[in-house]
Amino acid sequence: MIGAVTRPPAIVRTRHISARVPNDPLTRWLYLKATRHIVTTGEGLRAQLVRENGFPQERITSVPTGVDLNRFAPGERAAARRTTGLPPERLLIGIVATLRSWKGHRYLIEAFARLPADTGLVIVGDGPQRPMLEAQVGELKIRHKVLFAGNQRDVVPWLQSFDLFALPSYANEGVPQALIQAMLVGLPCVTTNIGSMAELAIHEKTALVVQPQDSSALAAALKRLLQDKNLSQTLGAAARRHCAERFSYERMVDRMEAIYREAADAHR
């Protein structure tokens, strides 16, 4: 004899990216009937679900993903470069991201090719775009200034080795972990306004923000930070303060615990 069917558990669904959610019946059932509450990792993603899908805003809460503030912190650059093996004197621009098209690596490489000869570019991460990006670097004759470092188990010393950080994404982002981590390390950043990235990158206050898929604007912003040390230091310090206040593990855990408790209580 088959036992009695138990009541299904209350489900809290988390949304991390800005790719469009379909409005077909099955997806609407999944989000509105099967799910007790929706959590997004940014206010921009929450607003997108309300605006594009008509989901009730009271059923959606924004809770940014938390980061370990003690681990991702400013460090001594010379010591970090001894760990990573990066050249001790060269100005280095870095990116940490899976090598996928929408992360915008091709635009960063185009921009980097226009920068002064004494700069270097470090690309941490791997993915399907690597052969195309390596070919692009070769065509631009900048192979001697670009390092493909591959996946790294611990990205902290790499971030601490950089002088600037760039993340020129043009699609599918929520609140990128790599951007939060770079800001917590105190790096001056150049990025775009995709998904909920504006909650991190406030133009001229915590970062320089450029239009996506615009290598000229990206090059100009990077050159500005390379030339203006005061601006770089100001943005890096402001970025660290901004993210430390809003993106700690403790803040995330407290808010998620409250959401889970409320969902469970309403399900009883």
10-65: pLDDT as tens digits? 889 988 877 889 999 999 998 988 888 999 888 888 888 999 999 999 999 988 88
Do 85 and 152 share a domain, yes or no? yes
CA distance 57 to 105: 35
CA distances to 59, 68, 158 from 97, rounded to whole Å, are: 31, 19, 12
CA distance 232 to 226: 8
Beta bridge partners of 242: none
pTM of the model: 0.86
Do 51 and 82 share a domain, yes or no? no
Query: H helices within the chain, ranges in order?
Result: 25-32, 43-53, 77-84, 105-112, 130-139, 156-161, 177-184, 215-227, 229-246, 249-267
Count how many domains the chain has: 2
Do 234 and 263 share a domain, yes or no? no
Residue 2 lies in a domain: no
**Model confidence band, residue 3 (pLDDT cutoffs 50, 70, 90):** very low
CA distance 158 to 250: 25
Residue 178 lies in a domain: yes
Residue 103 lies in a domain: yes
Do 82 and 54 share a domain, yes or no? no
Q: What is the mean pLDDT of residues 101-109?
A: 98
CATH of the domain at 158: 3.40.50.2000
Do 176 and 111 share a domain, yes or no? yes
207-251: pLDDT as tens digits? 999 999 999 999 999 999 999 999 999 999 999 999 999 998 898
Residue 187 lies in a domain: yes
Q: Which residues form the domain of 52?
A: 12-66+248-267
